[in-house]
């Protein structure tokens, strides 16, 4: 089973990391896309969704662009994921593809419900500020690469 975000969420998080670490008042979509490896056309769509959710704001004109609408410490990763993917907590049954009913609950209900809650709790506890700080530390070579990193190079 794959537990990775869609491209929409991947690009949204990358764009928000860029904005959290950006020193100027506004950043152009083209600059965000170039720096973060995001196709500009797709990025525009994602930024519009983030703007509708009031995670970013935009300004037109030569000095315009995008910026965070709130402090990075006030934006959770759960909020970003649910803005771009929809709610993590669903009424869909893990086995039947339909809603669980208390009088007809499936055997996987408690397992799946617990796993979804743990994922939601972890994403709620993680802030954009922390992720952006981790990104800066990794870029500067100041953060240890976790042992379980899928990109870890052999020593």
Whole-model pTM?
0.86
Structure tokens that stand for 149 in this block: 């990193």
58 - beta bridge partners?
66
The beta strands (E) that lie in the chain are given as 56-59, 65-68
Structure tokens that stand for 19 in this block: 């904005």
Tokens 């519009």 -> residue: 48
Cα separation of the two ends of the chain: 29
Please give the average pLDDT of every successive group of 10 residues along the chain, which has 155 residues.
Answer: 87 97 93 95 95 96 92 98 89 68 74 89 97 93 80 59
Ordered domains of the chain (ranges, CATH) = 7-139 (1.10.10.10)
- The 10 Å Cβ neighbour count of residue 136 is 14
């Amino acid at each position: 089973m794959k537990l990775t975000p869609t491209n929409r969420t991947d690009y949204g998080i990358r764009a928000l990391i860029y904005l959290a670490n950006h020193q100027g008042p506004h950043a152009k979509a083209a600059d965000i896309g170039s720096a973060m490896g995001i196709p500009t056309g797709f990025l525009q769509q994602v930024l519009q969704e983030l703007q509708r959710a009031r995670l970013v704001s935009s300004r037109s004109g030569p000095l315009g662009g995008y910026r965070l609408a709130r402090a990075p410490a006030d934006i959770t990763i759960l909020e970003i994921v649910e803005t771009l993917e929809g709610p993590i907590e669903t009424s869909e049954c893990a086995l039947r593809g339909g809603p669980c009913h208390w009088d007809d609950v499936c055997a996987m209900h408690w397992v799946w419900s617990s796993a979804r809650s743990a994922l939601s709790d972890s994403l709620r506890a993680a802030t954009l500020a922390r992720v952006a700080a981790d990104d800066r530390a990794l870029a500067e070579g100041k953060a240890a690469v976790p042992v379980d990193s899928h990109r870890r190079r052999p020593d």
